[in-house]
Amino acid sequence: MSTPRPIAVLGGTGPEGFGLALRWAQAGETVIIGSRDAKRAQDAAEKIKQRVGTNAKISGNENIAACAAADFLVLTIPFEGHAALLKQLKPAIRPGSIVIDATVPLAASVGGRATRTLGVWQGSAAQETAELVPKGISVVAAFQNVGAELLNADGLVDCDVIVCSDDPNAIQVVCNLATKIPGVRALDGGKLENARILEQITALLIGLNIRHKGHSGIRITGLPDAAYELV
Ligand SMILES: NC(=O)c1ccc[n+]([C@@H]2O[C@H](COP(=O)([O-])OP(=O)(O)OC[C@H]3O[C@@H](n4cnc5c(N)ncnc54)[C@H](OP(=O)(O)O)[C@@H]3O)[C@@H](O)[C@H]2O)c1
């Protein structure tokens, strides 16, 4: 069943956000692509409609307008724009929204290597988000370890998504959203502070992709079936 709450994918014109928006549109979710430029967002939404079909519930808008119309806000922007975008979004975030952060603070953001991460004062990009959203808004870290190539291809996404937050209800909701992507298993990864580990793993995966010329992801093994939220 689709979630009746719209999902805004901010920075959804880039490969990661576009891939997530595509998968959720395919699952029947209502998705709004966000961009700094409304026309760019609408063009991306149109491309998704062409792939999914005219019944796809997908539209595009400027980031702040997209945020104001949604209940799930997915951040898929480079780290260099992270804090500035959150400050712009703050007044538009609706009470009860959940902010889902997939941002990785790669050193490439400041001209360094994509195989290294930057130190973030708060511990991780997602913890920075928690400092910048209005009081009472839940922040969830997820999707950092799912590569855009897999999301944008047609097949199953052979990855686990580890979901971290200080709000256990938000973890459940986002695990459910993650499993709408065929092939994905979702796992409750505990407190938001664990986001710093998820973000580091992405830098490792990028290095593996370069070394072995592939599109790596992660699978966690050895837990009881009940730990994995399945489609
Ligand atoms: N690519 C992957 O496989 C992957 C996997 C896991 C996690 N991630 C993380 O997900 C995020 C997005 O990745 P991506 O590869 O899609 O990135 P990207 O293509 O570099 O950026 C995504 C979008 O963000 C917007 N943007 C760029 N600079 C911005 C700024 N300074 N302020 C606000 N918006 C800005 C752009 O959209 P507009 O110009 O339309 O506004 C762009 O299309 C990154 O934090 C990345 O580390 C990526």
Element housing 185 (H / E): strand 185-188
Cα of 137 vs centre of ligand 1, distance in Å, is: 23
Q: Is 118 left (phi over 0), alpha (psi -120 to 50) or beta?
A: beta
pLDDT at 2: 56
Q: For the whole prediction, is pTM greater than 0.95?
A: yes
Q: Which residue has the tokens 């370069």?
A: 210
Q: Would you give per-residue pLDDT tens digits along the chain (231 residues)?
A: 556 799 999 999 999 999 999 999 999 999 999 999 999 999 999 999 999 999 999 999 999 999 999 999 999 999 999 999 999 999 999 999 999 999 999 988 888 888 999 999 999 999 999 999 999 999 999 999 999 999 999 999 999 999 999 999 999 999 999 999 999 999 999 999 999 999 999 999 999 999 999 999 999 999 999 999 755
What the block records as the tokens of 230 is: 């399945």
* Atom of ligand 1 lying closest to residue 145 CA: 6
Residue of the nearest CA to atom 45 in ligand 1? Answer: 103
pLDDT at 110: 81
Q: How many whole angstroms separate alpha carbon 231 and alpha carbon 219?
A: 15
pLDDT at 139: 98
Cα of 10 vs centre of ligand 1, distance in Å, is: 9
Cα of 225 vs centre of ligand 1, distance in Å, is: 34
Cα of 78 vs centre of ligand 1, distance in Å, is: 4
Q: Of the residues 76, 79, 181, which should be mutated to test ligand 1's pocket, given the most ligand atoms within 8 Å of the CB?
A: 76
